[in-house]
Amino acid sequence: MADHDKTEKPTPKRKKETRKQGQVAKSTDLNGSVVLVAGLIGLTAVGPSIVSGIAGSMRSTFGDISRPGDYTTAAGLHELFSAATHALLTTVAPIAGLCMAAGVIVNVAQVSFKPSMTAIKPNFKKINPITGFRNLFGIRMATEGIKAIAKVTAVGVVVAMALLPQLTSIGASIDTPPAALGLLVNSSIMGIAERAAIAYLLIGILDFIYQRHRHNKQLKMTKHEVKEEGRQQNTPPEVRAAIRRICLATRSWPLATTIGAGWLPS
Protein backbone atom coordinates (compact mmCIF):
# COMPACT_ATOMS: atom_id res chain seq x y z
CA MET A 1 0.00 0.00 0.00
CA ALA A 2 1.44 3.40 -0.99
CA ASP A 3 2.27 5.85 1.77
CA HIS A 4 0.13 8.57 0.21
CA ASP A 5 -2.92 6.36 0.78
CA LYS A 6 -2.33 6.41 4.53
CA THR A 7 -4.22 9.55 5.44
CA GLU A 8 -6.11 8.47 8.57
CA LYS A 9 -4.92 8.89 12.14
CA PRO A 10 -3.93 5.65 13.91
CA THR A 11 -6.58 4.03 16.05
CA PRO A 12 -5.99 3.26 19.74
CA LYS A 13 -5.67 -0.43 18.85
CA ARG A 14 -2.96 0.31 16.28
CA LYS A 15 -1.03 2.40 18.79
CA LYS A 16 -1.30 -0.34 21.41
CA GLU A 17 -0.07 -3.02 19.01
CA THR A 18 2.92 -1.01 17.85
CA ARG A 19 3.83 -0.19 21.44
CA LYS A 20 3.86 -3.89 22.30
CA GLN A 21 6.35 -4.35 19.47
CA GLY A 22 8.59 -1.67 20.97
CA GLN A 23 7.83 0.97 18.36
CA VAL A 24 7.64 4.23 20.32
CA ALA A 25 8.64 7.84 19.74
CA LYS A 26 11.85 8.40 21.69
CA SER A 27 14.84 10.68 21.26
CA THR A 28 18.26 9.44 22.32
CA ASP A 29 19.55 13.00 22.00
CA LEU A 30 17.06 14.17 24.60
CA ASN A 31 18.17 11.34 26.90
CA GLY A 32 21.83 12.27 26.50
CA SER A 33 21.25 15.99 26.97
CA VAL A 34 19.21 15.52 30.16
CA VAL A 35 21.87 13.20 31.59
CA LEU A 36 24.54 15.76 30.69
CA VAL A 37 22.63 18.57 32.39
CA ALA A 38 22.11 16.37 35.46
CA GLY A 39 25.83 15.63 35.58
CA LEU A 40 26.71 19.33 35.42
CA ILE A 41 24.22 20.09 38.19
CA GLY A 42 25.78 17.34 40.27
CA LEU A 43 29.28 18.68 39.65
CA THR A 44 28.19 22.17 40.64
CA ALA A 45 26.50 20.93 43.82
CA VAL A 46 29.11 18.47 45.09
CA GLY A 47 32.17 19.65 43.18
CA PRO A 48 33.99 21.14 46.20
CA SER A 49 33.47 17.98 48.26
CA ILE A 50 34.72 15.86 45.35
CA VAL A 51 37.89 17.94 45.05
CA SER A 52 38.41 17.72 48.81
CA GLY A 53 37.86 13.96 48.78
CA ILE A 54 40.26 13.40 45.89
CA ALA A 55 42.90 15.59 47.55
CA GLY A 56 42.57 13.66 50.80
CA SER A 57 42.78 10.34 48.96
CA MET A 58 45.94 11.44 47.12
CA ARG A 59 47.58 12.60 50.34
CA SER A 60 46.74 9.29 51.95
CA THR A 61 48.10 7.38 48.95
CA PHE A 62 51.40 9.26 48.97
CA GLY A 63 51.67 8.67 52.69
CA ASP A 64 51.07 4.95 52.19
CA ILE A 65 53.91 4.79 49.65
CA SER A 66 56.38 5.59 52.44
CA ARG A 67 55.04 2.62 54.46
CA PRO A 68 54.87 -0.26 51.98
CA GLY A 69 55.22 -2.86 54.70
CA ASP A 70 51.88 -1.89 56.26
CA TYR A 71 49.94 -3.23 53.28
CA THR A 72 51.53 -6.63 52.79
CA THR A 73 49.15 -8.24 55.26
CA ALA A 74 45.45 -9.10 54.99
CA ALA A 75 44.54 -6.34 57.43
CA GLY A 76 46.55 -3.79 55.48
CA LEU A 77 44.98 -4.79 52.16
CA HIS A 78 41.52 -4.61 53.75
CA GLU A 79 42.25 -1.09 54.98
CA LEU A 80 43.51 -0.07 51.55
CA PHE A 81 40.40 -1.52 49.85
CA SER A 82 38.12 0.23 52.35
CA ALA A 83 39.83 3.58 51.73
CA ALA A 84 39.52 3.19 47.94
CA THR A 85 35.84 2.21 48.22
CA HIS A 86 35.11 5.19 50.48
CA ALA A 87 36.81 7.57 48.06
CA LEU A 88 34.81 6.11 45.14
CA LEU A 89 31.48 6.34 46.97
CA THR A 90 32.03 9.91 48.09
CA THR A 91 33.26 11.24 44.73
CA VAL A 92 31.83 9.30 41.79
CA ALA A 93 28.70 7.66 43.24
CA PRO A 94 26.63 10.84 43.85
CA ILE A 95 27.03 12.11 40.29
CA ALA A 96 26.62 8.63 38.79
CA GLY A 97 23.42 8.11 40.79
CA LEU A 98 22.04 11.49 39.72
CA CYS A 99 22.79 10.78 36.05
CA MET A 100 21.20 7.32 36.30
CA ALA A 101 18.06 8.74 37.90
CA ALA A 102 17.85 11.46 35.23
CA GLY A 103 18.20 8.87 32.47
CA VAL A 104 15.39 6.72 33.89
CA ILE A 105 13.10 9.72 34.42
CA VAL A 106 13.54 11.14 30.93
CA ASN A 107 12.94 7.72 29.34
CA VAL A 108 9.77 7.15 31.34
CA ALA A 109 8.62 10.70 30.59
CA GLN A 110 8.92 10.07 26.84
CA VAL A 111 7.27 6.65 26.54
CA SER A 112 5.64 6.15 30.00
CA PHE A 113 6.21 3.03 32.08
CA LYS A 114 4.60 0.19 30.14
CA PRO A 115 7.21 -2.56 29.72
CA SER A 116 6.73 -5.11 26.95
CA MET A 117 8.63 -8.35 26.41
CA THR A 118 7.75 -8.55 22.71
CA ALA A 119 10.48 -6.10 21.72
CA ILE A 120 13.27 -8.27 23.17
CA LYS A 121 12.09 -11.55 21.64
CA PRO A 122 14.36 -12.91 18.87
CA ASN A 123 13.20 -11.87 15.43
CA PHE A 124 15.20 -13.41 12.59
CA LYS A 125 13.57 -11.08 10.07
CA LYS A 126 15.67 -8.26 11.50
CA ILE A 127 18.90 -9.96 10.36
CA ASN A 128 17.80 -10.11 6.74
CA PRO A 129 20.85 -8.88 4.75
CA ILE A 130 18.69 -7.27 2.06
CA THR A 131 16.72 -5.30 4.62
CA GLY A 132 19.93 -4.39 6.43
CA PHE A 133 21.50 -3.14 3.21
CA ARG A 134 18.45 -0.97 2.52
CA ASN A 135 18.54 0.46 6.03
CA LEU A 136 22.27 1.12 5.78
CA PHE A 137 22.14 2.96 2.47
CA GLY A 138 18.56 4.18 2.56
CA ILE A 139 17.06 7.62 3.00
CA ARG A 140 16.74 7.16 6.76
CA MET A 141 20.48 6.61 7.23
CA ALA A 142 21.26 9.65 5.07
CA THR A 143 18.84 11.73 7.13
CA GLU A 144 20.43 10.54 10.37
CA GLY A 145 23.88 11.39 9.01
CA ILE A 146 22.80 14.92 8.11
CA LYS A 147 21.23 15.32 11.56
CA ALA A 148 24.43 14.15 13.26
CA ILE A 149 26.55 16.63 11.29
CA ALA A 150 24.12 19.45 12.06
CA LYS A 151 24.12 18.61 15.79
CA VAL A 152 27.92 18.50 16.01
CA THR A 153 28.17 21.76 14.07
CA ALA A 154 25.63 23.53 16.29
CA VAL A 155 27.28 22.43 19.53
CA GLY A 156 30.73 23.23 18.11
CA VAL A 157 29.68 26.77 17.20
CA VAL A 158 28.26 27.33 20.69
CA VAL A 159 31.45 26.02 22.32
CA ALA A 160 33.63 28.17 20.07
CA MET A 161 31.58 31.29 20.85
CA ALA A 162 31.97 30.58 24.57
CA LEU A 163 35.67 29.68 24.35
CA LEU A 164 37.04 32.54 22.25
CA PRO A 165 36.26 35.30 24.80
CA GLN A 166 37.99 33.23 27.48
CA LEU A 167 41.31 33.05 25.62
CA THR A 168 42.25 36.63 26.48
CA SER A 169 41.65 36.19 30.22
CA ILE A 170 43.50 32.86 30.27
CA GLY A 171 46.47 34.38 28.44
CA ALA A 172 46.60 37.26 30.91
CA SER A 173 46.74 34.93 33.91
CA ILE A 174 50.38 33.90 33.54
CA ASP A 175 51.44 35.32 36.94
CA THR A 176 48.26 34.21 38.71
CA PRO A 177 48.79 32.07 41.84
CA PRO A 178 47.93 28.36 41.41
CA ALA A 179 44.82 28.52 43.61
CA ALA A 180 43.37 31.50 41.76
CA LEU A 181 44.36 30.00 38.41
CA GLY A 182 42.51 26.79 39.30
CA LEU A 183 39.38 28.75 40.09
CA LEU A 184 39.66 30.70 36.84
CA VAL A 185 40.10 27.57 34.74
CA ASN A 186 37.26 25.82 36.56
CA SER A 187 34.95 28.78 35.99
CA SER A 188 35.83 28.90 32.29
CA ILE A 189 35.32 25.17 31.78
CA MET A 190 32.00 25.13 33.61
CA GLY A 191 30.76 28.13 31.63
CA ILE A 192 31.61 26.44 28.33
CA ALA A 193 30.10 23.14 29.46
CA GLU A 194 26.86 24.83 30.55
CA ARG A 195 26.43 26.54 27.19
CA ALA A 196 27.14 23.30 25.34
CA ALA A 197 24.66 21.42 27.55
CA ILE A 198 21.92 23.99 26.94
CA ALA A 199 22.52 23.82 23.19
CA TYR A 200 22.43 20.01 23.30
CA LEU A 201 19.23 20.10 25.37
CA LEU A 202 17.52 22.32 22.80
CA ILE A 203 18.64 19.93 20.05
CA GLY A 204 17.25 17.02 22.06
CA ILE A 205 13.87 18.72 22.45
CA LEU A 206 13.69 19.44 18.71
CA ASP A 207 14.70 15.87 17.94
CA PHE A 208 11.97 14.53 20.23
CA ILE A 209 9.37 16.65 18.43
CA TYR A 210 10.66 15.31 15.11
CA GLN A 211 10.61 11.70 16.35
CA ARG A 212 7.00 12.05 17.52
CA HIS A 213 5.98 13.52 14.15
CA ARG A 214 7.82 10.77 12.28
CA HIS A 215 6.33 8.04 14.49
CA ASN A 216 2.77 9.34 14.08
CA LYS A 217 3.29 9.54 10.33
CA GLN A 218 4.45 5.92 10.20
CA LEU A 219 1.38 4.81 12.18
CA LYS A 220 -1.12 6.41 9.81
CA MET A 221 -3.64 4.03 8.29
CA THR A 222 -5.61 3.80 5.10
CA LYS A 223 -9.38 4.21 5.10
CA HIS A 224 -9.72 0.52 4.31
CA GLU A 225 -7.62 -0.46 7.35
CA VAL A 226 -9.69 1.75 9.63
CA LYS A 227 -12.89 0.28 8.20
CA GLU A 228 -11.72 -3.32 8.62
CA GLU A 229 -10.59 -2.66 12.17
CA GLY A 230 -13.97 -1.15 12.99
CA ARG A 231 -15.74 -4.19 11.56
CA GLN A 232 -13.56 -6.49 13.61
CA GLN A 233 -14.29 -4.62 16.82
CA ASN A 234 -18.03 -4.44 16.12
CA THR A 235 -18.37 -8.15 15.31
CA PRO A 236 -19.47 -10.18 18.38
CA PRO A 237 -16.78 -12.55 19.69
CA GLU A 238 -19.02 -15.60 19.29
CA VAL A 239 -19.51 -14.81 15.59
CA ARG A 240 -15.80 -14.53 15.02
CA ALA A 241 -15.23 -17.79 16.90
CA ALA A 242 -17.87 -19.55 14.79
CA ILE A 243 -16.32 -18.31 11.55
CA ARG A 244 -12.91 -19.48 12.67
CA ARG A 245 -14.22 -22.92 13.60
CA ILE A 246 -15.91 -23.28 10.20
CA CYS A 247 -12.75 -22.23 8.37
CA LEU A 248 -10.57 -24.58 10.39
CA ALA A 249 -12.98 -27.47 9.90
CA THR A 250 -13.31 -27.01 6.15
CA ARG A 251 -9.82 -25.61 5.53
CA SER A 252 -11.61 -22.98 3.47
CA TRP A 253 -9.28 -20.05 3.88
CA PRO A 254 -10.61 -18.39 0.69
CA LEU A 255 -13.97 -18.29 2.50
CA ALA A 256 -12.29 -16.41 5.33
CA THR A 257 -10.86 -13.94 2.87
CA THR A 258 -14.25 -13.47 1.23
CA ILE A 259 -16.06 -12.95 4.53
CA GLY A 260 -13.33 -10.71 5.83
CA ALA A 261 -10.07 -11.84 7.34
CA GLY A 262 -10.32 -8.96 9.76
CA TRP A 263 -13.17 -10.79 11.52
CA LEU A 264 -10.92 -13.70 12.45
CA PRO A 265 -9.31 -13.43 15.87
CA SER A 266 -5.58 -13.11 15.86
Question: In this predicted model, what pLDDT tens digit does every residue of 78-96 receive, in sequence order?
Answer: 777 787 788 778 888 888 8
255 or 145: which leads in pLDDT: 145
Share above pLDDT 90 across residues of the chain, in percent, rounded to a whole number: 9
Find the range with the poorest average confidence among 16-25, 146-155, 178-187: 178-187
238 versus 224: the higher-pLDDT residue is 224
Where is average pLDDT lowest: 70-79, 208-217, 222-231?
Answer: 70-79
Task: Please report which confidence band the pLDDT of residue 253 belongs to, taking 50, 70 and 90 as the band edges.
Answer: very low
Three-state SS string across the chain, please? CCHHHCCECCCHHHHHHHHHCCCCCCCHHHHHHHHHHHHHHHHHHHHHHHHHHHHHHHHHHHHHHCCHHHHCCHHHHHHHHHHHHHHHHHHCHHHHHHHHHHHHHHHHHHHCCCCCCHHHCCCHHHHCHHHHHHHHHCHHHHHHHHHHHHHHHHHHHHHHHHHHHHHHHHHCCCCCCHHHHHHHHHHHHHHHHHHHHHHHHHHHHHHHHHHHHHHHHHCCECHHHHHHHHHHHHCCHHHHHHHHHHHHHHCCHHHHHHHCHHHCCC
pLDDT at 101: 93
Q: What is the pTM of this model?
A: 0.67
Q: Comparing 26-30, 128-132, 155-159, 199-203, which segment has the lowest mean pLDDT?
A: 128-132
Residue 266, pLDDT score: 44
In the predicted model, is pLDDT for residue 35 greater than 90?
Answer: yes
For the segment 51-79, the average pLDDT, to the nearest whole number, is 74
- Segment among 12-21, 164-173, 210-219 with least mean pLDDT: 164-173
Per-residue confidence (pLDDT) for residue 264, from 0 to 100: 46
Q: Parse the chain into domains and list their residue ranges.
A: 19-118+135-220, 223-266
User: What does pLDDT average to over the chain?
Assistant: 77
pLDDT number for residue 250: 67
Q: What is the pLDDT of residues 162-214, one digit of tens each?
A: 888 777 776 666 777 777 777 777 778 888 888 889 999 999 999 999 888 88
Q: Is the pLDDT of residue 34 over 90?
A: yes
